[in-house]
Structure formats: structure tokens, C-alpha cells
Structure 1
């Protein structure tokens, strides 16, 4: 079975980094330990890191250092060969690879970049390294600005050359081709494969946003200083305009998303550019580069700093205008580790155009039964995408919510409704360079369903003293409106809490979504992603001091949640004593809760009271509870109170370097989940995916 895969491109700027992102994601979903290795990189020294190596290590948090991930720079490799040390080069590359092989189940290898001016040398050395590693090859061909005939001819030459060198060409990916030429390219290459029928062929069309630079790229490329607009550096650049004319003439040359290059003392050009973003009759400028090492005078800076929501970034650089323009003309868009929008776009495009199931089957990669945090997180995304649900996000004014929404939509994970003022949300998204066109925006008080919603709320709560006026005003609150969308079936789930309290999220859900039959309370779990397993911790966020009956309900609900997400439940009812060894009110509560939980779910493996070490560690379990089916193998840990649970999950998160995903609310008829106000954008993406999966199960339970 294959233990590695080697990605080789045929020329520079083929989009190989995007392909490696997609392949690494595919591999990590299915293989426990995946490493990354580049035999030869293009850049080393002067404090700079190889772009692709840094990208993969950063994005996937691989358990290897930067130095582990490559053997030589291209210059070093060429020098060794010129000195007659070809054998030394290969031996050392193999030694470096073998060191990784002992630590990983699978290694994705990436060839050199073909930017060293000697493509024949790089082609040969990549082929030789792949052959010595015994690795199947994925060939990445560049289809940009080529006809289908040119693509087929050039790609076929590469395939034949690799085959002649004894390489197994597993698949060919033609990247950056025109969408309209896709079938012609695939058909042409298939006709050419008479002797190589096993080779798979995929075509990924050009994605302009991946090849075009952003303001952030310009900042790095020029080592520029951000004068203003630090939060707007993700804006994409479509063109360059050198502003040397008077502003009235210059404006005739402005185009959408153009980067304006002008001397730093041209305040008139600067103000004119900003004015284009406020005007409906001029295209929007992406940003400004001020040359000559000249910053705006204090009066202009005062104006900019007091201008709420300055709509574009402004950079300042050393060097005259012509020099800076010439440098920029050599720049091209790259996928940077911090640019999650580009990464999401690249992954979405790869998933759309490459049959990963077919590729994995052909690769015959060995799969592990153990689950890593990254595998678990990717499984969330895959499960959510498999049956896409409609999620409402009430906090349309939250920057993090909008950033997460961009990723969720780019990767087609869910359908979204975002609550808030539609014009404000769209303007904010545009300033941040986000694409939210596929989302629905609703202002609750202006919605055509508003009257129906508040009247329904009034009817549900009038017996508890609710008045029509209060119901009307309350339903204008975004969390109440979003929760009513879920209750009415106009959305499948809701995620809130990035800028609101837990109480604001849960209260409306308790009022009219209510708990499932047989469940008297809402509780929560965290998915604790350890290095080689996923555990379920409950309740660590909602119930301060549950009774024995409530603790039993939490245990059963937590087990059910675990099942929904692929965790085989073995439930440990935690206490400060194990088995019959201890006494006290808290121990008795856990003992009673264990009895009730077993009555509620007779087929569920439950042990309690039990200490954490006995539940988690097989060696301790052999001493304290040698006959238990749960001790030492527990996957669901139920804490006796909120104080214990909250502190323990945070301690495990920090001490064991675990990834904590949650809190995930459970017990409701329909899913509503609460975010921490300190949540990150990936946290939001994961929570939305979890909510979508819960919605899938809720719908399934309703139809059964």
C-alpha cells in the first residue's frame, strides 16, 4: 500500500501550493499521522522561509519542525551536483525522508518550484527523487493562457517522460485552465492514455482570486508600512494605476479594485481615491501606495484618523514611484498562511473538481482507527456538507461572524441567514474583502414575517403575563428572532454568543423551542480533541449544581451527542472516589445518578462513581476497577458540577495541549449553540458545522 505521494509541477506558477493544500486536507481526514516533505526548496537563508513549506506546516499544525520538512535548497542541490556529489545529494535526501517516515503513517512530498532558471535540471531531479522514494506521482500541469491542444500535448510529454523514468503517475491535475475547456482537456488526455489507463485526470479551472495579490501581499512584497487601514489588508487587487496627473485627469483612469501608486506628497490623489469609495459613480479603489518614503502631512493624517470607517488601506514605502511600480509588476498572488479566505477558496475549488474518494481508493492509503484533532475537525465539515442545513447567525454586526460566514459559504458547508441591517452588513463585508453574496440578510423589525413571529411569541407566553407590546418589542431582538426562525422551521439551527451572553442565547430557546421529551434541562458538552482520541466532557458550561436525576439526563444526552459525532460512548460518572471506596453527599449523588442513567439507557456502558484517572488511564483502571468495561477506556466524562467540569476541561486543554470544541448545547428540540465571547473564527466555523450536524439528526429523528 502507498505510504507517500509526490506532487510535481511541470512549470512555475502552476498553483501547486493550492493542490498541496487540497491533498493534505484529503489525507488528514483519513490518515492519523501525515507528514510533509520537500526534498528541495527554492528559498533558504536571510531569515526567509520556503513559502509552501511554511503554508502547509502552519495550516495543518503538523508535528514537525520547519527544518525537518526539507533537505536542500535548490542552490545547494545544484552545487553538490556540480561538485560531482550527486550520490551524496540523493543519500542525504533519503536519510532526511526516512527520519520522517519513522514518525508518520503517510508523507506528502512536494517537488521544487521551477523558478530557478533550469527547468530541465529540476524536472530530472524531481523524477529521480520520486523514484528513489518509491512514491506515486501526481503531476500538476499549468493550463493558464493555453489552448486545450497545447495543454494536452505538453502534459502528455511530461507523463511519457515520467513513465519512461519508471514513475507511477497516479493522477494528472491540470490547474488554472479555462472552465469551458475542461471536458476537451480531459477527453484529450484520456485518448492519449492508451498505455497508462490507470492514470486519473482532473481539471481545476482558474480561480482569479487565488492568482491575484492582496494589499497584504503588497505590504510583504514591498516591506511597506501601513499608514491606515490595518484591518482591510485582505482586499484583492485587480490592476495598478500610477497617479502622476492632476486628480481630475487621474480619476479617468481609475478602475475597480485598482491599487494606486503615487508619491507621498500627493494629498490630492489620496483624498480623491478615498472619495471614489464614497461615490456611486466611480469604481472602488482597492488601496494606495505612497512612494518616496513620504507620509501624509499631519493635517491629512488628522483628517484620516477622524474619518470613521476609512474605506481603504494606505501603505507607505521607500523608493521612487517608477522603482516601486517595476517591483509590483513582478509580484504575483500567493496563498499566505494567515489568508484564510484564500485558503478556503483553494480548498473549496479542489473539493469541487477533484474526486477525492476516487483518488483515495486508487492511492490505497492505510487508515487508522484513531482520531486526531484535525481529523475530527475535518469530519465535522464533511458531515455538515453531506446534507447541507440552513443556519441563522443573529450577530451580523460581529466581524468574526462575518469572517466565519465567508469561509462557511466558500466551502459550501451550510446555507446562512445573517441578521442585522442588510446595507450595513454588505458595506462592512465589502470593506473586509468578504464574499457573502450567497447569504440571506434580514432586519428583524422589517421582515415580512415579523408580525407572525411576535404574535406567535405572544400566544405562547400570554399565560405567563406576556403583553402584545412586550412581545412585539422583544421579537425585534436578533436572538429572539433567530430562535423563532428555528422554531418555525425557517432555519434548522442557530449559533450566537460571540458578542452576546450565554443567557441571551439560551433564554429564548428555553421559552419556545423547549427541551426534548424525557429531558428536563439543557446541558452542554465540550469535544476534547487529544493527540490520538476525542473525548466528550459534560456539563462544563451550563448547569452549576445538577441533581442526581439531572446528572443522569446529562450523561444520557452526552452519550447521544457523542454518537452523533462518531464517538463510541463509554460513560464515566466522575467523583472523588471510585466504586464503593468512598462516602459523602457528593459521592452518593453520583452513585444515584449512575443508577438512574442505567435505567434511562439500559444498553449504555456507564460506570460510576469513578475518579478521572481510573476512567482515563488503563494502568490505573487495572488496579482500581479491573473488571470494568468503562474504566481506562471512557470516552464520555460526566462531571458532578459546573465548578469541577469547567476547571477540568480548561486544565486538560492547557496541560495536554488539547483542542476544546464547544460548548455544544444538548437537550433542545432543535439545535441552538452558544459561542464564547472570546471565540476565534475557526471556533465559529466548527460550531456552525456542529449545529448543522445536530440539525441533520433532529430532522432524522422527526421523520422516523
Structure 2
């Protein structure tokens, strides 16, 4: 049985997407796949049970049948944190190994997802390198290349891993278009001269940054005024409607699939957004729009969301929501597969695991 642990230099690097994409590619090649996220850090309540959001999404999209408690045997709850800080031992190593044995049974490949950044879980002796060592697997490091300082993060991560043989290689993810040539021509050769295998360079992609309108409603604690049947639609970006109405329509039309954030008293901007056919309208300040605006939005199928916060706080929250989008939709999984197939040497990753595809 082959395995690999997908780690990252920082949170929200795209490692869940990489896990999901690799799992689907291996499934398509005929391999039976297992998946684990040993330490759950994104906890949600599903039908009265505590589960990890990322691992539940991957379990669903890959059609896995393993129980959630085996996929994620350790949850970062307040109780676990307090017990650890007070010196109470929880036999987490045994829980980890037993879950891994259950997940591995009958599988050709097990993909293991790390926790947050590479050092997440260190206080429980369950950082990514520690888990890899305990399970006898190698690591694939995913780094969001947001600036040249990503190189420093990679080199520091190598020092955390300590054993160079444990690192199978690196994927440079979410590279801005303006940096792609420099990364491929200068950064990749630099890292390879340091003995680091680079499996791929993936450019930024708007589809993966997009979020469903339902997540916007939840994230902003908003109320749906009209368009409740459109909550599964994806939003790629957001625009702020603070200009005069004549300029607004052209501005909105230049960026399709966007949400428009504006004050509840700006009926002119709201009507311009409706005319431009934006994906949704977010009204700030808890100010109800006119009946004419709601009727127009409903007629063309544009959701209108009312939030209590002011425009600036709503913008800050939207930036966080879009920048930290999770993969839950089939359209995103399809896009991940395309990005991996076009930009990553999956054969080399498989070879580092001792398999051929």
C-alpha cells in the first residue's frame, strides 16, 4: 500500500484541493483510494456529531465509505487543548495508528492531509512531520506562492522536517499571473539546486477562489430577501458600489460573476447592479431596499442579501470568505483536475510513492 502526506507552509494553501484532485486522478486510474485528515481543525456539527469540514467534503466528492471517526480520529476541541496544557495524556498516537490501519485496509493508496501549516498539532506531538514519521510515509509540500518570501517558507519547512528524504517534493500553488514566468525560470531552478523536487507550478484560478452565495449569507450572518433558489450559484469576486449610477453599470459588467456590496439606501446602485446582471447584491447597514428593487431583482433571479454590518466591515469579511474558499462543489473538483493535469507532474508524485500511473 502506498501513501503520502500532503502538508503546507501555511493555512489556506490549497492542500485540500490537491488531496482531492490527486485522489480523483488515482481513482480514475483504477486505484482504490483511502483518505485521512488525522487532526481535525475545521470543526462543524452535522446531525449532532462533530466532524471536520474539509474531510467531510473530500469524503463526499470522492465517494468514500470510511467512517468519519476513522478519517479524522483527533479533533482539536477545547477539551483536548485543556487536557494537553494540564498534562493529561490522551493516547493520541495509538488513536492515530489504529485509524490509519482501518483506513488502509483494502486500499491501494492512502492520501493523508496535514493540519493547517506544517507545524500544526506540534503541541500534541502530531505535527505533519511527526505524523509522517509515525505512519512511515513521505510528505508533499504545497506552498502558496504569494510573494518571493514563499522561498523562505519552503527552506524553513525543510529545517522543520529535518530528514530531507522525508520530503518527496513541492507544489508551488496559486502563483499570480505576473509572477509565473519568474517562478518557472528562476525560482524552480533555484530550489532544484537545493535538492528540492518541484512537482508543479499552479497559477491562480478564479473558479477555486469562488464561493456559493449560501456561504456568503452564512459568513455575513445575512438575511435573504429574494433569490433563495439561487444560493448554490458561485461568486468569483466582489465589487463595491460607491460611485454614481451612470458609471456603475460599466464597472459591474467588466467583472462578471461578482457580488455587489452597497448601502441599503443606494437604490440607484442596486438597480444598476440588477441591470448588469451581477450574481448577487449585498446591502449593508441593515437598511431595507425599496419594493421596486426587490421586485426587479426577483424578476431576473438575482439574490439580495441584507446584512447588519457597515460597508467596510462587510468588505473585510468578504475578502476573508473569498480568499479562504473551500472545495465543496463538483465544478471545483473538475477544475482542480484540469489544473493538476496541465500544471503538475502527477506521474512523478506517484513514482515518489512507489506506484505507476
TM-score class normalised by the smaller sequence: 0.7 to 0.9
Q: Distance in 2 between matches of 1:206 and 1:122?
A: 34
Q: Report SS of the residue matched to 2:66.
A: coil
Q: Distance in 1 between matches of 2:269 and 2:51?
A: 37
- Residue of structure 2 equivalent to 1:346: 336
Of structures 1 and 2, the larger Rg is shown by: 1
1:41-80 matches, within 5 Å, as 41-47=40-46, 49-75=51-77, 78-80=81-83
Matched, 1:125 2:127: yes
TM-score normalised by the chain length of structure 2: 0.81
Matched, 1:238 2:237: yes
Q: Distance in 2 between matches of 1:186 and 1:15?
A: 19
Q: Distance in 2 between matches of 1:20 and 1:260?
A: 33
Q: Distance in 1 between matches of 2:67 and 2:130?
A: 25
Matched, 1:168 2:130: no
Give the direction of change, closer, same or farther, for the CA distance of 1:106–1:115 in structure 2 (3 Å limit). Answer: closer
Per-residue CA shift, 1:121-155, capped at 9, x if unaligned?
599722111100111111112212x12xx333431
Give the direction of change, closer, same or farther, for the CA distance of 1:103–1:82 in structure 2 (3 Å limit). Answer: farther
Q: Distance in 2 between matches of 1:139 and 1:320?
A: 39
Q: 1:81 aligns with which of 72, 84, 87?
A: 84
1:97-246 matches, within 5 Å, as 97-114=100-117, 125-144=127-146, 146-147=147-148, 150-164=149-163, 168-177=166-175, 178-180=179-181, 181-193=183-195, 199=197, 201-224=199-222, 225=224, 227-228=226-227, 230-231=229-230, 233-243=232-242
Q: Report SS of the residue matched to 1:61.
A: coil
Q: Distance in 2 between matches of 1:120 and 1:253?
A: 47
CA contact (8 A) 2:40 2:51 kept: no
- Residue of structure 1 equivalent to 2:260: 260
* Deviation (angstroms), 1:304: 4.2
Q: 1:336 aligns with which of 297, 303, 327?
A: 327
TM-score normalised by the chain length of structure 1: 0.44
The number of residues matched between the two structures is: 345
Q: Distance in 2 between matches of 1:187 and 1:154?
A: 17
- Residue of structure 1 equivalent to 2:307: 317
Q: 1:290 aligns with which of 283, 295, 298?
A: 283
Q: Which structure has greater strand proportion?
A: 2
Q: Distance in 2 between matches of 1:123 and 1:184?
A: 36
Q: Report SS of the residue matched to 2:327.
A: coil
Give the direction of change, closer, same or farther, for the CA distance of 1:87–1:3 in structure 2 (3 Å limit). Answer: farther
Give the direction of change, closer, same or farther, for the CA distance of 1:188–1:78 in structure 2 (3 Å limit). Answer: farther
Q: Report SS of the residue matched to 2:73.
A: strand
Give the direction of change, closer, same or farther, for the CA distance of 1:96–1:235 in structure 2 (3 Å limit). Answer: closer
* Deviation (angstroms), 1:58: 1.2
Q: Distance in 1 between matches of 2:134 and 2:283?
A: 51
Q: Distance in 2 between matches of 1:50 and 1:226?
A: 31
CA contact (8 A) 1:34 1:108 kept: yes
- Residue of structure 1 equivalent to 2:25: 26
Q: Distance in 2 between matches of 1:59 and 1:322?
A: 35
- Residue of structure 2 equivalent to 1:274: 274
Per-residue CA shift, 1:397-418, capped at 9, x if unaligned?
xxxxxxxxxxxxxxxxxxxxxx
Pairwise CA RMSD of aligned residues? Answer: 3.4
Q: Report SS of the residue matched to 1:336.
A: coil
CA contact (8 A) 2:235 2:279 kept: yes
Give the direction of change, closer, same or farther, for the CA distance of 1:362–1:348 in structure 2 (3 Å limit). Answer: same
Q: Report SS of the residue matched to 1:274.
A: helix
Q: Distance in 1 between matches of 2:82 and 2:127?
A: 13
Q: Distance in 2 between matches of 1:155 and 1:314?
A: 43
Q: Distance in 2 between matches of 1:27 and 1:328?
A: 35
* Deviation (angstroms), 1:111: 0.6
Give the direction of change, closer, same or farther, for the CA distance of 1:26–1:262 in structure 2 (3 Å limit). Answer: same
CA contact (8 A) 2:263 2:311 kept: yes
Q: Distance in 2 between matches of 1:234 and 1:314?
A: 13
